[in-house]
């Protein structure tokens, strides 16, 4: 599969925003502004790496904004936006991606669907940007008096992420060094390459002023919509002396086989939460081929997904897990499981349900070959 890296540019000093800290570190919906777009790209299953481009002075802010997200190390930018992108592109030379999506860190409402649209248009086009038609009439004015009304036919407002063939945009940026342009598409055009426009999104606004941030903050709290999704997982019995379910060790004369700790209940729940944010499945985010997850505590996976959801401005309302097995008996451990899940999810215990059932001796669970678990989750997410 083609490698597509997201380069999220956030090295600016925010002269139009004012204040003590650059705007990307101010809170939107309770999270640093930059975290929203980092989380959106991290959640997209077809983005292979997410790299932020920041100012070296902002490392502490960045670490706070990126905490818990699975990102590659940030890159340091330059004195202008263009210099920052150039330096970010140079920083990607080791991983040498096929495509790079350059995104403005000040556009926090980037949607999964828009990222998908950009990626989909890429193979046939070396440059793709989202854009929207202009609806307002354009006036040129001098000293507050209109000198001209401009035709708006064929005019578009450019957005980000702007996606390009990696080597081509890197060469174009090198060639354009010293000539300031307002976006990366302009750099690509200056090198003589065609750039395809695709439909942008009205939600994908850029935060420039304090008023923009305040408006976005007010709006984002009002449009939460409910989502529910389910997850299912099975692990086979193998040698051992306990099974781990809902992060609780349950003594048994067998263990569960798996690359991680084989906690089928947490895996099902993690998949349910990924389903709520339409972000693929657990295997996509934590490939069983990756040695990092060998023997891993599955609480890591669950915490990662709840962080993604929170960073997208969402919150969990309720989760429900059903564990399906003949043995071991789950009843004696149910309360501990609810308590542990409530702790991991930062939810009151009244919003966490753990149930168990047998299959009356039927099927693979009935034959005691393994344990199955299913989960449902309900969340609130900002609507678009």
Binding positions for Mg ion, rule: CB under 5 A: 233, 267
Contact 47, 5 (CB under 8 A): yes
Q: How far is the CB of 264 from Mg ion (least distance, A)?
A: 6
Q: How far is the CB of 364 from Mg ion (least distance, A)?
A: 15
237: β partners:
256
Q: How far is the CB of 362 from Mg ion (least distance, A)?
A: 22
* CB closer to Mg ion, 204 vs 270: 270
Q: What are the Cα distances from residue 180, in Å, to 16, 106, 139, 186?
A: 18, 19, 24, 10
Rounded to 5°, the CA angle 220-210-136 comes to 75
* CB closer to Mg ion, 183 vs 263: 263
* CB closer to Mg ion, 219 vs 300: 300
98: β partners:
none
Cis before 161? omega within 30 = yes
162: β partners:
102
* CB closer to Mg ion, 164 vs 286: 286
| Residue closest to Mg ion, measured at CB | 267
* CB closer to Mg ion, 277 vs 371: 371
Q: How far is the CB of 174 from Mg ion (least distance, A)?
A: 46
Burial class of residue 358 in the structure, from the number of CB atoms within 10 Å of its CB (0-12 exposed, 13-18 middle, 19+ buried): middle
Q: How far is the CB of 259 from Mg ion (least distance, A)?
A: 8
Element housing 374 (H / E): strand 370-382
* CB closer to Mg ion, 90 vs 257: 257
Q: How far is the CB of 293 from Mg ion (least distance, A)?
A: 11
Upper half-sphere CA count for residue 208 (Cβ side, 13 Å):
3
């Amino acid at each position: 599969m083609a490698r597509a890296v997201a380069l999220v540019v956030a090295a600016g000093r925010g002269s139009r925003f004012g204040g003590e800290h650059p705007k990307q570190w101010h809170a939107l919906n309770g999270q640093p502004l930059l975290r929203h777009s980092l989380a959106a790209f991290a959640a997209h299953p077809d983005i292979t790496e997410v790299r932020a481009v920041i100012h070296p002075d902002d490392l502490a802010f960045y670490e706070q904004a990126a905490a818990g997200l699975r990102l590659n190390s940030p890159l340091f930018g330059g004195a202008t936006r263009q210099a920052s992108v150039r330096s970010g592109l140079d920083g990607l030379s080791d991983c040498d991606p096929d495509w790079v999506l350059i995104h403005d860190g000040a556009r926090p409402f980037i949607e999964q669907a828009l990222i998908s649209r950009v990626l989909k248009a890429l193979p046939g086009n070396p440059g793709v940007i989202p854009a929207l038609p202009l609806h307002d009439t354009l006036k040129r004015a001098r000293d507050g008096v209109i000198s001209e009304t401009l035709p708006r036919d064929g005019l578009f407002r450019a957005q980000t992420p702007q996606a390009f063939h990696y080597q081509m945009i890197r060469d174009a940026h090198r060639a354009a060094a010293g000539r300031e342009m307002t976006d990366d598409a302009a750099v690509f055009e200056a090198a003589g390459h065609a750039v395809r426009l695709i439909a942008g999104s009205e939600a994908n606004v850029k935060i420039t002023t304090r008023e923009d941030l305040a408006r976005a903050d007010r709006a984002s709290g009002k449009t939460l919509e409910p989502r529910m999704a389910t997850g299912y997982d099975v692990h086979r019995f193998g040698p051992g002396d306990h099974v781990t379910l809902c992060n609780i060790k349950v003594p048994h004369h067998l263990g569960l086989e798996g690359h991680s700790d084989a906690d089928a209940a947490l895996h099902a729940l993690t998949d349910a939460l990924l389903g709520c944010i339409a972000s693929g499945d657990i295997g996509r985010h934590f490939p069983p081929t990756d040695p990092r997850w060998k023997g891993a505590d599955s609480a890591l996976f669950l915490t990662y997904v709840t962080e993604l959801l929170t960073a997208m401005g969402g919150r969990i309302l309720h989760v429900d897990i059903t564990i399906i097995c003949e043995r071991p008996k789950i009843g004696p451990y149910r309360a501990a499981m609810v308590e542990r899940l409530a702790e991991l999810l930062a939810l009151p215990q009244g919003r966490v349900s753990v149930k168990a059932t047998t299959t009356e001796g039927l099927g693979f669970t009935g034959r005691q070959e393994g344990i199955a678990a299913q989960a449902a989750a309900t969340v609130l997410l900002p609507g678009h």
